[in-house]
Amino acid sequence: MGIELASHILAGALLGWLLDKLFNTTYWLMIGSIAGLIVGMVDFIRSALKAQRQAAGPAATRRHRDAEAPGPDAAEEQPDQQPNREHDGSSH
């Protein structure tokens, strides 16, 4: 995954350098490098999350899928979890 990140950055920088040479400018190298870094980081995070899901196994995938789609009980109102505390009139 690290090599893929580096290759995205390098490809963006190379494309920026070529655009600088073609248009006789000085800023495309920086823009290309930043774009390559962003694309590389997005790809890196996606790959890491995919590897984590695969390592967790099918049970984690099923839990993840169940968490995304609410079940038939989701429409029911949940009872209040906080205990009711009545004011007894004493001062603190």
Q: What is the pLDDT of residue 50?
A: 94
Per-residue model confidence as pLDDT tens digits over 19-51: 999 999 999 999 999 999 999 999 999 999 999
- Helices (DSSP H) in 1-92: which residue ranges? 2-23, 28-56, 58-68
Query: pTM, whole model, 2 decimals?
Result: 0.59
Closest CA to 32 of 18, 45, 44, 21: 18
Terminal-to-terminal C-alpha distance of the chain: 60
Closest CA to 61 of 53, 69, 50: 53
Domain ranges within the chain, ordered by starting residue: 2-66
Closest CA to 3 of 63, 50, 44: 44
